[in-house]
Amino acid sequence: MMSNGLFITLEGIEGSGKTSHAAMLAERLRAQGRPVLLTHEPGATRAGQAIRAIFLDPAVSLQVVAELLLVLADRAQHVAETLKPALARGEIVISDRYADSTTAYQGYGRGFDLKLLGELNRLAADHLFPDLTILLDCAVETGLARTRLRTNAGDRGPDRFEGADLDFHRRVRNGFLTLAKNDAARVRVVNSERSREEVFADIMRLVDELVRQRWR
Ligand code: Z5A
Testing ligand 1's pocket by substitution, the residue of 9, 14, 54 carrying the most ligand atoms inside 8 A of its CB is: 14
**Would residue 34 count as lying in a domain?**
yes
- The DSSP 8-state label assigned to residue 61 in this structure reads -
Structural domain includes residue 1 = no
Which residue's CA is minimally distant from atom 37 of ligand 1? 19
pTM metric for this prediction: 0.96
Dist. CA 36–CA 22, nearest whole Å:
11
- Rounded to the nearest angstrom, the distance between the alpha carbon of 33 and the centre of ligand 1 is 27
Distance from the CA of 86 to the center of ligand 1, in angstroms?
24
Q: Cα 100 to chain center, whole Å?
A: 7
In this structure, the residue with its CA closest to atom 36 of ligand 1 is 17
Check if 18 has its Cβ closer than 6 Å to any atom of ligand 1: yes
Distance 84 CA to ligand 1 centre (A): 24
Q: 204 lies in which domain range?
A: 6-215
**Contacts of 192-200 spanning 24+ positions with Cβ under 8 A:** 192/12, 192/16, 192/17, 192/21, 192/136, 192/137, 192/138, 193/137, 193/138, 193/139, 193/142, 196/17, 196/20, 196/21, 196/24, 199/17, 199/21, 199/136, 200/21, 200/24, 200/25
When divided into structural domains, the chain yields a total of: 1
Whether ligand 1 lies within 6 angstroms of the CB of 151 is answered as no
What is the Cα 82 distance to its own chain's centre?
A: 15
Instruction: Tell me how far apart the alpha carbons of residues 142 and 8 are, in angstroms, rounded to a whole number.
Output: 24
Q: What is the pLDDT along the chain (216 residues), one digit of tens a residue?
A: 446 899 999 999 999 999 999 999 999 999 999 999 999 999 999 999 999 999 999 999 999 999 999 999 999 999 999 999 999 999 999 999 999 999 999 999 999 999 999 999 999 999 999 999 999 999 999 999 998 887 676 666 678 887 788 999 999 999 999 999 999 999 999 999 999 999 999 999 999 999 999 876
Q: Which atom of ligand 1 is nearest to the CA of 109?
A: 3
Nearest to 111 by CA among 168, 55, 165: 168
3-class DSSP assignment, residue 131: coil
Q: Where are the alpha helices (DSSP H) in the chain?
A: 18-31, 46-56, 64-78, 84-88, 99-102, 114-125, 140-152, 166-182, 196-214
Q: Is residue 182 part of a domain?
A: yes
**Cα(16) to centroid(ligand 1), Å:** 6
CATH of the domain at 110: 3.40.50.300
Backbone angles phi, psi at 190, to 5 degrees: -120, 125
**For residues 182 and 185, what is the distance between their CA atoms, to the nearest angstrom?**
9
- Ligand 1 centre to CA of 17 (Å) is 6
pLDDT the model gives residue 3: 60
Tell me the β-bridge partners of 137.
Answer: 191
Distance CA 37, CA 165 (A): 34
